[in-house]
Amino acid sequence: MKLLARTTVIFLLYAAMVAAAGTWVYYTVIRKLYYVYVDRTLTRRKMRVKRSARLELRTPADLAFWHRIDHNVEFVPLAAGQYPARPDQFRDRMMLNTITGQPQQYRQIAEVVRFQGRPYRLEVRTSVLDDGDLLVGITVAGAILLAVLLGGILLIQHVLTRRYWRPFYHTLAVLQQYQLDQHHAPVLAPTDIPEFKALNAALTRVLAKHQRLYHRQREFAENAAHELQTPLAILRTKLDSLVQAPGLTEEQAGHIEPLLAVTQRLTHLCRSLLLLVHLDQQLFFPTETVDLAATLRTQLEQLREQIDAADLTLETDLAPQVLLPVNRSLLDILVSNLVVNAIRHNRPGGVVRVSLTPQLLTVQNTGRPQALPADQLFARFRANPGRPPGSVGLGLPIARQICETSGFLLSYHYEEPGWHQMRVRMK
Amino acid sequence: MKLLLVEDEPELLDTVVRYLQAQQYHCETATTYAQAQEKMLLYDYDCIILDLTLPGGDGLDLLRELQRQQKPAGVIITSARAAVDDRITGLELGADDYLPKPFYLPELSARVAALVRRRHFQGTNLLRVGQLAVDVPARRAAVADRPLNLTRTEFDLLLLLLANQKRVITKGAIAEHLSGDAAEQFDTFENVYAHVKNLKRKLTEAGAPNHIRMVYGLGYRFDPEPAA
């Protein structure tokens, strides 16, 4: 639930509770006031009737006549000794209204009076509002009031939220799209609200710091790899010259050979690092339409000798043509890394199986009968149990990075018995 | 053949010059942007080996200028900058080849030879060593008019050997020449050994003398006039 909806719901609940309680209180208070007013009126009328009876009425027929004219005044003759406990008696009663023909609620006051020496019960009454009607009336009025209040508040809140919270939502959107490896620090919209100002300032500081650190580290890797290229070039060319020296002895040659191998390994390491750095930087890699099936066939042909030398069988199931918009060099490296990997981590007499559909490239190989730790497989320089000596350990990280750059998904799967599988899902 | 080497690292420059001079190339050098610019515009070279990172400027700018002046030289870029776009920009600007540092000297020599051949002997180019004749554009080789049946790899190997005669070519250089970057991923040089063995056998069977010698397990050397 969004922040705004959350507060609104709580607010609505509270408002409904207050409205219900308020309606009840209103009803009780108004009803009480009303009855006090009605009772006072009835008492006064009763006093007026008693005075009229004393001063102006002559016979019991006059009493009945009054009732006929004024339905709300009645003298009921009492038998001797029928005396009520209390002199004044208020009560509510339902009576048929002779005009409307409907039963209606009445409030009446009753008192025993004497007329010409005989006791009568005088009842003075008046029609009153129905309790239900009163309640409904108050509730409806309250509801209308509440609705207007709520509507107004929601509208104001909506408008204000849109205006005041705009910087917050802008910041949120920027952060959602933020990636550490993008080239520019994100730009947060300026705002007058102190809280958001502070938030943006804090975020800008943190992001800038991270970005700086990240770039510095990347630059370091790139510069280190670059700076190493030239000394390596000198080393390699000097070694090339050294082996030309006339009178080279076998012992000297024995010293030179490992140097050549180490130089080779360093060179590979530097190139791999540079490629990774460039992939991380998401430098622009121009894309063209490349047939992955053709690339695979070429690479497999080139690696044919290595496959044969490792005593492996190659099984292929390739779609005739799979056209992809990618960078050709990167695709070459990806395919080569995956296939070379399947050759190197195989067992003698094993199988390399490559299959390609328009959506999926699978490179499978036989190997150790246990799944490899998938999370470490793609980590840079991580020593895997099956990593052969002399391996730099950057082949799979590079493959994964190329997949990310090209919008593919690379994953590792293990199937019994001893089948290791790399899947590249093309979107 | 006249070459210009543009390279700011004196040690590297010195070694490369010596190696190429031994291959009968006439080498001139430049170590700064300004020096390279001056030499490039004043003289004509068959091939310019150009480093991109130079004191005083970017090698790519030299390339642009060369293209504007329509100089006939072939250009091989050697660079420590391995960025893919540098390579593409370089080739778009008219460079003929791109060799990332660090490189093997025999590889550079082979690339120079290929470039010079391409530019100077359009289509008709026969390499002759003793009885051995190699038609590079047609990718055919023969010993005393008996055609050799060489695979693509064996032919590439032969070209590399011919471009570096009387020089030891290390196994690493051969592996990289034959299979590119994939060579770096395999520790053994068994393939190199197998290819050289096959090539030697085919040459001998065709009646050529034993040109190819192994040097202490380091690599191989092609001798045009082998001692008996």
Please provide the DSSP assignment of A110-137 as one string.
EEEEEETTEEEEEEEEEE---HHHHHHH
Q: Does A274 touch chain B (CB under 8 A)?
A: yes
CB pair distance less than 8 Å for B185 and A344 = yes
**End-to-end Cα separation, chain B, in angstroms:** 32
The amino acid that residue A160 corresponds to is L
CB pair distance less than 8 Å for B80 and A230 = yes
Q: What's B123's DSSP letter? A: S
- Distance (Å, whole) CA A267 – CA B117: 29
CB pair distance less than 8 Å for B101 and A395 = no
Report long-range pairs for B85-91 (Cβ below 8 Å, ≥24 apart).
B85/A283, B85/A284, B85/A286, B86/B52, B86/B60, B88/A286, B89/B60, B90/B52, B90/B60, B90/B63
Among B12, B167, B179, select the one facing A233 at the smallest CB separation.
B12
Q: Closest Cα of chain B to A188: distance in Å?
A: 33
Best mutation target among B181, B197, B223 (most A Cβ atoms within 10 Å) is: B181
Helix (H) or strand (E) segment spanning residue B98 = strand B97-100
Q: What is the pLDDT of residue A159?
A: 87
Give me A101's structure tokens.
Answer: 């023909």
Q: What's B58's DSSP letter? A: E
Give me A408's structure tokens.
Answer: 């593919």
- Of A69, A67, A128, give the one whose Cα is nearest residue A95: A128
Give me B29's structure tokens.
Answer: 């050098």
Among B82, B188, B218, select the one facing A243 at the smallest CB separation.
B218
Q: What is the pLDDT of residue A390?
A: 58
Q: What is the pLDDT of residue B36?
A: 92
Q: What is the length of chain A? A: 427
- Distance (Å, whole) CA B102 – CA B80: 7
CB pair distance less than 8 Å for B88 and A286 = yes
- Of A317, A307, A319, give the one whose Cα is nearest residue A354: A317
B138-144: average pLDDT: 87
Q: Closest Cα of chain A to B146: distance in Å?
A: 28
Q: Closest Cα of chain A to B144: distance in Å?
A: 30
> What whole-number percentage of chain B has pLDDT above 70?
91
A90-106: average pLDDT: 83
Give the ipTM.
0.85
Cβ neighbours of residue A10 closer than 8 Å, sequence gap 6 or more: none
Residues in A 373-412 with any Cβ partner in B closer than 8 A: 388-390, 395
Q: Closest Cα of chain A to B37: distance in Å?
A: 22
CB pair distance less than 8 Å for A241 and B182 = no
Of A143-147, A221-225, A315-319, B216-220, minimum mean pLDDT range: A221-225
- Of A115, A104, A34, A37, give the one whose Cα is nearest residue A72: A104
Alpha helical stretches, state H, chain B: 10-22, 33-42, 59-69, 84-92, 105-120, 152-163, 171-179, 190-205
Mean pLDDT, rounded, of chain A = 84
pLDDT at A102 over 60: yes
- Distance (Å, whole) CA A123 – CA A265: 120
Helices (H) and strands (E) in chain A, counts: 11, 11
Q: What is the pLDDT of residue A360?
A: 93
Instruction: Tell which wins on pLDDT, B8 or A224.
Output: B8
- Distance (Å, whole) CA B228 – CA B209: 9
The amino acid that residue B112 corresponds to is V
A386-399: average pLDDT: 74
Give me A280's structure tokens.
Answer: 């991380």
pTM of the model: 0.65
Please check whether residue A305 is in contact with residue A385, taking contact to mean a CB–CB distance below 8 angstroms. no
Q: Closest Cα of chain A to B12: distance in Å?
A: 5
